[in-house]
């Protein structure tokens, strides 16, 4: 299935300035026009949507989804918000965004470009000296946003990845500069920035550091003042250090293997927010997505960056992923064409105990936001994501 490879990396964190040699011309990016999906979308099917949520496997404790658009609105839940009390999943529950935070960071960088405070074609080394190794080639700022930067990623040796290690270290603080410094010790995945695409987090750590260097403020503060407050996202926060989730929410858990066999669910709702630590709701994400696609946050030139997918190979891509072997990410967004021909744009995210996503047709005719609570340490349960997407944007009955 084209959406079977909707990847979602486990989160991590960001850094920042001298002149560098001129950058080679950026790779060609395919232009995307606004397609109208009125005749392509099936009728909203509440029964199919609820069935999709209810198909969640035992390793997911709770599910929440919202569908919006001119054809109608629907919200649904499944499972429990608290395995101890059995409390139901709150329909207005808050959750951690993980890598969906990348879309907010990309928007802020594009706003700074619109303000002529950063040139997307210039190397990031110009704005962030002494952050990347001297041996690196010039890396255009744009490539940070569209995952073509060639920057290496953190490995399992850099941060705890086992369930017991995650529990023990969930309150540890990892500054962005530290994460970048650890990542760049590894080999780069390809040599020429802009010539291939591969999903990762390091480019966005650097992008967040860039925001901080250009503005003099934490990137979370810039997200708050530039996006959260103007859009009145009242249930959305971008904490720098706060470990709790304010307001109604489902708990996040991780299954920790026990010496005698089996596993025990450990509540990891409270954790260091890290680089993907934003908290929001399905309603607020829907409001953000709508404003972003309608051009309320960006002028036309920078708005176009959201829908310009580089015309380059995807590293390790296959015919079964959304790009069929070619790139499928733009600046902070993912593009996928579903079996019925409908193209959706959005982003997935995950952190320990929480997985979420937001998707919409380009014309905003139908929009989906969702969250669920995996006990496997984070990451997408692709079968569940596929069922929710199919029930939202295609006719799951095949008629």
Q: How far apart, in Å, do the first and last CA atoms of the chain sit?
A: 18
Q: State the catalytic residue, choosing from 33, 55, 68, 99.
A: 99
Give the alpha-carbon dihedral of 127, 132, 138, 143, to 10 degrees. Answer: -80
Cα separation, 215 vs 394, in Å, equals 43
Instruction: Say if residues 393 and 342 touch (Cβ distance below 8 Å).
Output: yes
Per the annotation, the verdict on 371 as an active-site residue is: no
Cα separation, 288 vs 231, in Å, equals 7
Measured from the Cβ of residue 88, the count of other Cβ atoms closer than 10 Å reads 15
Opening angle at CA 43, ends 42 and 46, nearest 5:
120
Q: Where are the alpha helices (DSSP H) in the chain?
A: 46-54, 101-114, 124-127, 141-145, 163-168, 176-183, 202-215, 219-223, 282-293, 300-305, 382-393
Residue 321 is inside which H or E element, if any?
none
CA distances from 277 to 167, 222, 238, 271 (A): 17, 14, 7, 9
Q: Which residues on neighbouring strands pair with residue 310, listed in sequence order?
A: 29
CB under 8 Å to 374, separation ≥6 — which residues?
59, 60, 350, 353, 354, 355, 381
Cα separation, 150 vs 202, in Å, equals 10
Cα separation, 251 vs 349, in Å, equals 17
Cα separation, 229 vs 226, in Å, equals 7
Instruction: Say if residues 55 and 387 touch (Cβ distance below 8 Å).
Output: yes
Residue ranges of E strands in 235-275: 253-257, 263-267
Annotated active-site positions, please? 99
């Amino acid at each position: 299935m084209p959406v079977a490879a909707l990847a979602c990396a486990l989160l991590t964190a960001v850094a920042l300035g001298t002149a560098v040699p001129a950058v080679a011309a950026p790779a060609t990016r395919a232009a995307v026009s606004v397609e109208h999906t009125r005749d392509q979308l099936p009728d909203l099917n509440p029964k199919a949507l609820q069935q999709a949520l209810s198909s969640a496997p035992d390793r997911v404790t709770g599910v929440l989804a919202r569908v919006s658009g001119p054809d109608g609105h629907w919200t649904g839940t499944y499972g429990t918000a608290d395995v101890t009390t059995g409390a139901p999943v709150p329909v207005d529950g808050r959750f951690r965004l993980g890598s969906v935070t990348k879309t907010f960071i990309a928007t802020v960088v594009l706003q700074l470009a619109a303000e002529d405070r950063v040139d997307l074609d210039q190397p990031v080394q110009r704005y962030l000296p002494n952050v990347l190794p001297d041996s690196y080639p010039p890396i255009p700022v744009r490539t940070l946003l569209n995952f073509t930067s060639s920057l290496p990623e953190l490995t399992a040796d850099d941060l705890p990845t086992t369930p017991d290690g995650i529990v023990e270290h969930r309150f540890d603080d990892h500054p962005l500069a530290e994460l970048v410094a650890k990542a760049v010790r590894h080999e780069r995945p390809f040599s020429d920035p802009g010539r291939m695409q591969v999903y990762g987090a390091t480019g966005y750590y650097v992008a967040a550091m860039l925001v901080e260097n250009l503005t003099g403020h934490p990137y979370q503060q810039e997200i708050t003042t530039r996006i959260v407050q103007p859009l009145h996202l009242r249930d959305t926060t971008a904490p720098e250090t706060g470990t709790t989730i304010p307001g109604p929410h489902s708990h996040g858990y991780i299954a920790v293997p026990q010496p005698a066999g089996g596993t025990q669910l450990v509540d990891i709702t409270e954790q260091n927010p890290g680089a993907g630590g934003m908290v929001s709701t399905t309603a607020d994400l829907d409001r953000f997505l709508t404003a972003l696609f309608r051009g309320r946050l960006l002028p036309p030139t920078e708005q176009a960056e959201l829908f310009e997918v580089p015309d380059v190979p995807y590293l390790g891509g296959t015919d079964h992923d959304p790009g069929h072997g070619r790139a499928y990410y733009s600046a902070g967004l993912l593009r996928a064409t579903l079996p019925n021909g409908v193209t959706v744009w959005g982003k997935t995210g995950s952190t320990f105990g929480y997985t979420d996503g937001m998707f919409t047709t380009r014309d905003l005719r139908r929009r989906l936001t969702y969250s669920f609570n995996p006990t496997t340490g984070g990451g997408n349960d692709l079968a569940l994501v596929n069922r929710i997407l199919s029930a939202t944007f295609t006719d799951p009955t095949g008629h």
